[in-house]
């Protein structure tokens, strides 16, 4: 049976374990070099510890080596992949096609979303050259995903939650053009979160000082079933730079949501165990820039977070009255009120996002740390929910594997058999030198009570079958030792099972033709191995990566499905009165960027 995977980010070993405890079927983590998040790197030793922890639950660990590499780096990357393979990594996520020209270990390769996987032709090509999974572009609709699945057999992974890059991943060179920090080299400076103004060709200001390239956060929590139907088997949460509470809240929420869908469709998750938490996850409480479904159902919304690049929070109510040290609020929901130590946010007269903390609350009378800029009629948002986050930070989160015990007699031995939820078995024994108990009921209770004490182990007892001809009084110490030994052996047997089941894949060079014969710098060819790869697959003319160029002047530095014309109701396809001319983007340093519009493909392009 096909199994489905909830894939969570791991900033480090600690966060990776936390994500697994919260129910992730797999985590992705950056190695010490060559990851697209250079500030979230981890040594092979730390990754090895995470792999050992994950494999207890049949969860997987994927390692990102998804930057483009120069000729000096690519051999080091190859050696790193061998080290990670030997550590037990389940797959390597890559962008640089030059790696396929090298002698790699038989480990599965996943095509990073940085490889710009947005078409049937591209995904089919990646499948034919040996990738076992393709991480799809976030911009794809359900219909486009369905079409890709119908024309390929490769495993498909899709982002379902988290921050969105405004550009197609791997196709953004804005950060590099401005200051030399390349996103394809793991060092994006995030210029998309800055302030810009939008001008027409004559220099007239259409929109002034907004976060024009900043997008809301993706939230497809209510589209999990339709994504399964479209062919997705791995559901990815973004957030390798997010905090601990984000991991707890978001991973737990998606675990619960995906489990409901899988149960309704009689489908299985890809790992073992159940997560036990003592809080109710809530997506609205975690950092977000507002939510969007992006283009999952086509262009049906405005995904831009143009008024802010930070966390505004959930709308709480409207200011009715201002007093000397307080304000009166009209709550949107009387069951969702502000509390002492909450953080609030609001937009001032200049539409700048302002924040404050709450010192005291008396029903609908709010005493903030500062009343500055708060006006009557203003909307108040909560971006720090103290009553939610305080218990979340101390939340008890456990992941337990179901196990059944059966104790019986055989050849003067007491045998304890353990069978877990994956039907992995173990058996241990002690010599049956015990006398028949005078109080058999008390002795039976003693056996039952001691075998049920699984404590801090990875297991939870589903069933206990005591099948003994005579009930002996067995010392607690002996029962505890027997129980612990069988669980230790069960863990060993689980490791052996997952090791034997582990999928391997050795790349076999082919000459399957690339779907176009001429490619520009957008193919991100940064080393001679990548050049050789594309030529072997029939590309006749190619250009080096942008990072090889002296200047990006007058070059396209971003390709995006997000359209500022559509965001601000300027689209000529929706209203013939709107102009079809190029527009100008002006940054805070008065640097101008030309916006061109490919309306036939519904794309916007930014030129430096």
Mind listing the pLDDT tens digit for each residue in 282-328? 999 999 999 999 999 999 889 999 988 789 999 999 999 999 999 99
What mean pLDDT is predicted for residues 338-349? 94
Over residues 259-277, the pLDDT tens digits come to 999 999 999 999 999 999 9
Alpha carbons 460 and 592: distance in angstroms, whole number: 62
Instruction: Give residue 283's pLDDT.
Output: 96
Alpha carbons 465 and 391: distance in angstroms, whole number: 38
Q: Is the pLDDT of residue 336 over 80?
A: yes
- What does the block give as tokens for 311? 């966390």
Alpha carbons 315 and 353: distance in angstroms, whole number: 14
Helix then strand then coil, in percent of the chain rounded to 5, is 30, 30, 45
CATH number at 3-171+218-285:
3.20.20.70
Q: For tokens 């601000």, name the residue.
A: 568
In terms of pTM, does the model score above 0.85?
A: yes
Do the beta carbons of residue 338 and residue 344 sit within 8 Å? yes
What mean pLDDT is predicted for residues 331-347? 95
Within the chain, all domains assigned CATH 2.40.10.170 are found at 312-393
Interaxial angle between packed helices 13-21 and 44-56, expressed in degrees from 0 to 180 and rounded to the nearest 10: 10
Alpha carbons 283 and 291: distance in angstroms, whole number: 10
Beta-bridge partners for 3:
268
Q: Is the pLDDT of residue 40 over 80?
A: no
CATH level 3 topology of 312-393? Thrombin, subunit H (2.40.10)
Q: Is the pLDDT of residue 90 over 80?
A: yes
Within the chain, all domains assigned CATH 3.20.20.70 are found at 3-171+218-285
Q: Is the pLDDT of residue 550 over 90?
A: no
Q: Specify the 3-state DSSP secondary structure of 397.
A: strand
Q: Is the pLDDT of residue 37 over 90?
A: no
Give the phi and the psi of residue 300 in degrees, each rounded to 5: -115, 0
The pLDDT mean for the chain works out to 95
């Amino acid at each position: 049976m096909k199994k489905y995977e909830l894939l969570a980010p791991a900033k480090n070993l600690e966060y990776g374990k936390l994500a697994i405890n919260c129910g992730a079927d797999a985590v992705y983590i950056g190695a010490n070099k060559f990851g697209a998040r250079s500030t979230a790197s981890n040594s092979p030793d730390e990754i090895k510890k995470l792999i050992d922890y994950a494999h207890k639950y049949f969860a997987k660990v994927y390692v990102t080596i998804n930057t483009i590499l120069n000729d000096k780096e690519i051999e080091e990357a190859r050696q790193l992949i061998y080290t990670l393979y030997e550590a037990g990594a389940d797959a390597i996520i890559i962008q640089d096609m030059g790696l396929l020209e090298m002698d790699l270990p038989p480990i599965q390769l996943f095509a990073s979303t940085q490889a710009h996987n947005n078409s049937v032709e591209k995904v089919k090509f990646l499948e034919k050259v040996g990738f076992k999974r393709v991480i799809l572009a976030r911009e794809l609709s359900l219909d486009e995903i369905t079409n890709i699945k119908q024309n390929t057999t490769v495993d498909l992974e899709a982002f379902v939650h988290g921050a969105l890059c405004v550009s197609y991943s791997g196709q953004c060179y804005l950060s590099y053009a401005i200051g030399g920090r390349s996103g394809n080299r793991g060092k994006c400076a995030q210029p998309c979160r800055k302030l810009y103004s939008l001008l027409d060709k004559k220099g007239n200001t259409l929109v002034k000082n907004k976060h024009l390239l900043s997008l809301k956060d993706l939230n497809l929590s209510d589209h999990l079933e339709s994504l399964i139907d479209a062919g997705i088997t791995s559901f990815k949460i973004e957030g390798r730079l997010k905090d601990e509470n984000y991991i707890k809240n978001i991973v737990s929420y998606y675990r619960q949501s995906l489990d409901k869908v899988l149960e309704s469709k009689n489908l299985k998750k890809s790992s073992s165990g159940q997560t036990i938490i003592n809080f109710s996850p809530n997506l609205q409480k975690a950092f977000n820039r507002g939510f969007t479904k992006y283009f999952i159902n086509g262009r049906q919304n405005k995904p831009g977070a143009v008024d802010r690049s930070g966390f505004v929070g959930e709308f709480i109510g409207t200011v009715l009255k201002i007093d000397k040290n307080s304000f009166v609020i009209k709550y949107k929901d009387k069951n969702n009120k502000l509390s002492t130590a909450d953080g609030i946010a609001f937009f001032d007269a200049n539409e700048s996002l302002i924040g404050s903390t709450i010192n005291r609350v008396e029903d609908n009378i709010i005493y903030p740390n500062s009343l500055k800029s708060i006006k009557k009629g203003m909307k108040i948002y909560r971006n720090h929910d103290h009553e939610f986050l305080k218990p979340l930070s101390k939340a008890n989160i456990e992941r337990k594997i179901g196990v059944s015990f059966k104790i019986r007699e055989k050849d003067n031995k007491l045998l304890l058999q353990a069978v877990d939820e994956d039907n992995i078995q173990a058996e241990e024994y002690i010599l049956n030198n015990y006398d028949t108990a005078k109080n058999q009921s008390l002795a039976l209770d003693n056996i039952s009570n001691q075998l049920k004490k699984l404590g801090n182990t990875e297991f939870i007892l589903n069933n206990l079958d005591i099948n003994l001809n005579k009930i002996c009084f067995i010392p607690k110490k002996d029962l505890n030792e027997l129980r612990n030994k069988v669980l230790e052996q069960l863990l060993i047997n689980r490791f052996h099972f997952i090791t034997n089941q582990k999928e391997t894949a050795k790349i076999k060079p082919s000459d399957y033709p690339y779907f176009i014969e001429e490619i520009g710098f957008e193919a991100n060819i940064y080393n001679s191995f990548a050049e050789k790869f594309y030529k072997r697959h029939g590309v006749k003319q190619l250009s080096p990566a942008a990072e090889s160029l002296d200047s990006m002047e007058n070059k396209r530095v971003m390709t995006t499905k997000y359209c500022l014309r559509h965001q601000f109701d300027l689209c000529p396809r929706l209203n013939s009165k709107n102009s079809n001319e190029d527009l100008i983007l002006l940054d805070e340093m008065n640097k101008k960027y030309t916006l061109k519009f490919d309306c036939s493909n519904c794309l916007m392009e930014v030129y430096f």
